[in-house]
Structure formats: C-alpha cells, structure tokens
Amino acid sequence: MAAQKGVDKGRGWSLGLAGLLAPAAFWLGVFFLVPLLLILAYSFGTSGVYGGITLGFNPENYLKVFDPLYLQIIVRSTVIALLNTLICLAIGYPLAYFIAFRGGSWKTALILLVMIPFWTSLLVRAYAWVVILGGNGLANRTLQFLGITDGPITLIFTPQAVMMGLVYSYLPFMVLPLYASLEKFDARLKEAAQDLGASRWQTFWRVTFPLSLPGVIAGSILVFIPSAGEFVIPDLLGGSQTVMTGNLIQQQFLNARDWAFGSALAVMLAVLMLGAILIYVRRIGTDRLEGV
C-alpha cells in the first residue's frame, strides 16, 4: 500500500520513507514505548507476595501515594527539586548575564567552562562531594578553621548535602538555556529603555528579564524534571536519611519487589514531566515562533 505512493517524494508515505523510519520506529517502539505502556498496565495491577503482578484495574497503587509514609517522601522530593531549581536560577542567572553581556571575546571559553563539568561523569561529581562533606572532610575543616564549628559535624547524609550535590550537578542545565536566550538579546533595546529614562534596575526588570523568560522557563524545566526523579545524588549524599521519589521507585523495583506501586510512582513522574513540557510548548514555544 505504501509502495503505491512511491513517486510522491516529500509528502505522504513511500517505500523509501518507510525504510528510513522503520529501524527507529522499531527500536523506539519496542524498547521505549512498549515498556512505558507495560509499566502503565502494571501500575493498575496488584503485586503478589512473591513479586508477580496480576493485571487488572486496581487504583490502589495510586492511592498508596497518600499514605503519610510515602507522601512525606514525595512532598520532600518536590520541595527539594523546587528549591534546587530556584537556587540554580539565582546562581545561574547572574552568571549567564555576566557571560552574555560582559564576556566579550571570552564568551565561548566561559560557556565552555560551564559545560565541562556537565560533560563529566555524574558519579564523579557526586563522589567529589562525598569526599568533601564526609567525616572530617574539607568542608568540616574549613568550618573549624573559620571558627564556625568546634569539631566535626555531620554534613553528609543530610538534606543539605543532597541540595549541595543537586545544585552542583544541575547548574549547567540552567546556565546554558539562560545564556542562549540572553545572547540573542538586542542591546539596543536596553539603550532605548535607558534613553527613555529608565534606571538600570528598571531596565533589567522591565526589558531584559521579560525577554529572557523563555530561557528561564527552559532552564527551570531542565533542572526541575530530572532533579524530581533524581536517584544517584540522594543515594550517595542523602543515605537513608534523605530518600527521594527516585530512591523510592528503585526500592520498589529492586528491594521491596512491589512492582505495581513502583510502576505507579514512575508513571506519575512521567506524567509530571509530560505536563511540564506541554506547558512549556504552549506558553513559550509559540511565543518564540512569533520571533525574538
């Protein structure tokens, strides 16, 4: 059927087009979409005592989220991910602003310097903080040297340690889109605002910042989504004290063997992600098309 339309290159289906798309469609279909549908089905199933799953329509796994034990973990994860987003924005915005407007001929080098840690292994970055925050590590000795503390205090395996690791790991995700949107900024707009009598502060809040909003939102999504599902950093820096949703999912799949509940959590995380992306596309995607 597809082969019949073979002549019409560029629009509609053809044999050649099917050949180009088939491998990707197969791989992503079988090894990405089908597994997602599988956990969607599992999330409405019932976990057996020995780890098996009986399929059905059981909303219990989703209701289990409201169990105070789990709700506490989910709320904490969301708060930590939100805080991480805000801190990355507070640190990343001035940095991106500095690189875009004061970087001069150093721009490329400065942005490359932000990207290098982003290209290095996540585990190596987390390990650096395990060492610094651990035992009588560099952080503790600095605190003692400055006279803030008298002896070593517990820094690792705290929510603060997780925050530190998250900000450290996700900062580049915030800086890159911010830089991309500030870099395109037409400096004449700023001059115009100032010529019309706006102070530097007013110029920033009424001209520069609103125009960089696509970058702010893109960066916030890029930081919030993965940090809400983060599992390595709380695992290495939070220990059993600061469990996040990602750790909870991992426990359900590997230790508790309650795959139905684990699937429900994973589905919720995926839906959260899709929701955020949709909001982004609706609110910013179209604005951007209208030309900046």
> Among residue numbers 240 through 259, which ones bind other proteins (CB under 8 A)?
246, 249-250, 253-254, 259
Interface region with other proteins, contact rule CB under 8 A, candidates 61-69, 72-80, 208-216, 223-231: 223-231
Phi/psi of residue 54, nearest 5 degrees: -100, 120
Size, binding site for other proteins by CB under 8 A: 91
- The dihedral built from the CA positions of residue 122, 123, 124 and 128, taken in this order, carries a sign that is positive
What SS3 class is residue 185? coil
CB of residue 166 to other proteins, shortest distance in Å: 13
Among 215, 219, 229, 234, binds other proteins (CB under 8 A): 229
Between 216 and 222, whose beta carbon lies closer to other proteins?
222
Is 103 an interacting residue with respect to other proteins (CB under 8 A)?
yes
Question: For 30-115, where are the E strands, in sequence order?
Answer: 46-47, 53-54
Burial 154-170 (b: 16+ CB within 10 A, else e): ebbbbbebbbbbbbbbb
Which residues lie below 8 Å from residue 95, measured CB to CB, with a gap of 6+? 114, 175
Between 57 and 119, whose beta carbon lies closer to other proteins?
119
| Contact track, other proteins, 137-166, x by CB under 8 A | xx--x-------------------------
| Contact track, other proteins, 46-85, x by CB under 8 A | ----------------------------------------
d(CA 216, CA 178): 6
